[in-house]
Amino acid sequence: MNNSPIGVFDSGVGGLTCVKELAKLLPHEDIVYLGDTARVPYGTRSKETIAEYTAQDMEFLRGHNVKMILVACGTASSVIMSSPEFSGNTEPSYSGVVKPAANAACASTKNGRIGVIATGATIRSGSYGKVIRSIDPSAKVIGKACPMFVPLVENGYISKDCAPTRYFAEEYLECMKREQVDTLILGCTHYPLLADLISDIMGDGVKLISAGAELARFAVKTLTFSDELAEREEQGSQKLYCTDSPELFSENVERFLGESFSGTVEKCVLTAH
């Protein structure tokens, strides 16, 4: 057993979709979340800059004595897969969203045609395609960058009937419909807030895979296998940190976690790695 908290980070608020699923699956676990809101989005940055930001995020969480770090950012997850500074054994252990989501997609698809929507950096990295084809070499992977989704979500434009969001979604998803994908990975943790709209455009026959939710399920399996689940009966705590305005961050927390959120929100400063 291990009563240390689980650490989660994202470039902004999108990783809270992972926190929400994690709290549902493991209600007795303490969670420390970092949203690097002062530097969001990561998806428009260079690989070197993303790696530096990611190292700082992980160092911050290690300072809170976390037992595991969940990289709930598709962009950062893609970078750590190909950056040598993140290879080898580390304490605490960490995982990104790519492999759990890719495994879920391969288990779901019937026709072998898997779509991936994510930030530009994630799509350019080809990380999802590499993992999916390592599981199923015959799979066809169709990737599409959706740069407008993050700002739309963070500004509250998430309704299925929201005209601006639907305009961009229909444009982004046209290639997915044309390629007849039957499984679509939401490769950025902001995107599940647009799931109703995306599902409406893609149709009932397309399975949506939430990268953040799959990462949370992976954490459950990992901590259970290593016997590191918390040994407490009371509800776990949620401490949220951001690098920009806590007031603006709190508005999005309610959107992602619901009005029932009873944790704390604080501003923090990240130091150079």
Residues annotated within the binding site for substrate are 10-11, 42-43, 189-190
Compute the distance between CA of residue 12 and CA of residue 248 in angstroms, rounded to an integer.
Answer: 11
To 5 degrees, how large is the angle CA 156–CA 248–CA 26?
A: 80
Q: Which of 18, 106, 146, 188 is catalytic?
A: 188
- Residue 73 annotated in active site: yes
Instruction: Indicate the length of the chain as a whole number.
Output: 273
Residue whose pair of structure tokens reads 């689980």 in the numeric block: 6
Reading the block at residue 154, the tokens are: 């963070």
- Residue 146 annotated in active site: no
Q: Which of 18, 73, 106, 242 is catalytic?
A: 73
Please report, in range form, the residues annotated as the binding site: 10-11, 42-43, 189-190
Q: In what order do the strands lie in the sheet with 113-118?
A: 140-145, 113-118, 183-186, 207-210
Reading the block at residue 207, the tokens are: 């399975």
Q: What is the dihedral of CA 18, 21, 22, 27, to 10 degrees?
A: 150
Find, among 3, 70, 86, the residue nearest to 33 by Cα. Answer: 70
How many C-alpha atoms does 227 have within 13 Å on its Cβ side?
Answer: 1
Catalytic residues: 73, 188
